[in-house]
């Protein structure tokens, strides 16, 4: 204790360490040689710990788990980018929905065929349709009973045309159709240009045009301005067919 009543700590002089002792080994006796021998060991210990810590960090950065996580993340990003919606796995549903569409579109309109193509008696699409008719009792081509087909033999009956030979009976309507003379004429008839009709019984196709060839010619009463329409377009039938599907 000092005379002023305060405590004074004893002064301790730390042994000096020679720079050379740290770098090159112990100093001479009496110059801090003991401390000089201890310092290099401590320094080596610290350096060793630092090297071990760096090695641990490097091992963690290059570990298989880290690489797998990065690879998985990159794969997920790539899958999402390739999807049309940007969400991986959402594309197949869209493709399935698109592939299902053509089936319903095909079923909407049945195609025409020879079996679904008919001759409409008197150009009436709502009358009993005729398919390759023999016309034993006559098949009316007009609605006013002035033109009939009789005893027909059909050479072809396809979806595009029907060709048959028989008798074409024509009224010369002189002086009028009710009092006119009916002439039987040998003829080859070609029916063509089928039109679609939408009926309660289903979709049907009807011939809308008839053309004629007369192997033995026409009688004089049916020549010139009195001759039959050739070709004959069934305009009233076509109009009724269009209206039925409107």
Q: How far is Cα 117 from Cα 159, in angstroms, rounded to an integer? A: 6
pLDDT top residue among 105 and 188: 188
Residue 231 structure tokens: 């070709």
pLDDT in tens, 153-186: 999 999 999 999 999 999 999 999 999 999 999 9
DSSP SS3 for 27: coil
Residue 17, C-beta contacts closer than 8 angstroms, at least 6 positions apart:
27, 32, 35, 36, 39
At which residue do the structure tokens 């319903």 appear? 104
For residue 140, report the phi and psi dihedrals to the nearest 5 degrees: -70, 130
pLDDT in tens, 102-141: 443 334 557 889 999 999 999 999 999 999 999 999 999 9
Residue 67 has pLDDT above 70, yes or no: no
User: What pLDDT was estimated at residue 166?
Assistant: 98
Its pTM stands at: 0.57
Residue 231, C-beta contacts closer than 8 angstroms, at least 6 positions apart:
209, 210, 211, 212
Parallel/antiparallel/unpaired status of strands 232-233 and 117-118: unpaired
pLDDT top residue among 86 and 204: 204
Instruction: Assign 3-class secondary structure to 62-76.
Output: CCHHHHHHHHHHHHH
Residue 169 structure tokens: 């009976």
pLDDT top residue among 88 and 229: 229
Q: Is 197 exposed, middle or buried (0-12, 13-18, 19+ CB in 10 A)?
A: buried
């Amino acid at each position: 204790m000092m005379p002023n009543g305060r405590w004074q700590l004893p002064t301790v002089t730390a042994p000096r360490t020679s720079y050379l002792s740290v770098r090159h080994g112990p100093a001479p006796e009496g110059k801090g040689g003991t401390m000089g021998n201890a310092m290099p060991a401590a320094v080596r210990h610290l350096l060793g710990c630092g090297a071990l810590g760096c090695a641990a960090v490097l091992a963690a950065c290059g570990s298989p788990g880290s690489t797998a996580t990065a690879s998985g993340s990159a794969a997920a990003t790539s899958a999402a980018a390739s999807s049309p919606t940007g969400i991986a796995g959402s594309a197949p549903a869209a493709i399935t929905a698109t592939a299902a569409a053509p089936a319903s579109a095909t079923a909407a309109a049945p195609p025409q065929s020879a079996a679904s193509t008919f001759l409409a008696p008197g150009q009436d699409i709502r009358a009993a349709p005729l398919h390759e008719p023999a016309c034993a009792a006559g098949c009316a081509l007009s609605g006013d009973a002035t033109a009939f087909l009789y005893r027909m033999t059909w050479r072809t009956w396809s979806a595009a045309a029907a060709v048959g030979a028989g008798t074409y009976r024509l009224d010369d309507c002189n002086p009028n159709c009710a009092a006119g003379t009916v002439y039987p004429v040998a003829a080859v008839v070609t029916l063509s240009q089928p039109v679609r009709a939408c009926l309660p019984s289903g979709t049907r196709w009807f011939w809308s045009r008839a053309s004629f060839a007369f192997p033995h010619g026409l009688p004089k009463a049916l020549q010139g301005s009195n001759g039959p329409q050739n070709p004959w377009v069934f305009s009233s039938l076509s109009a009724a067919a269009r209206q039925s599907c409107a």
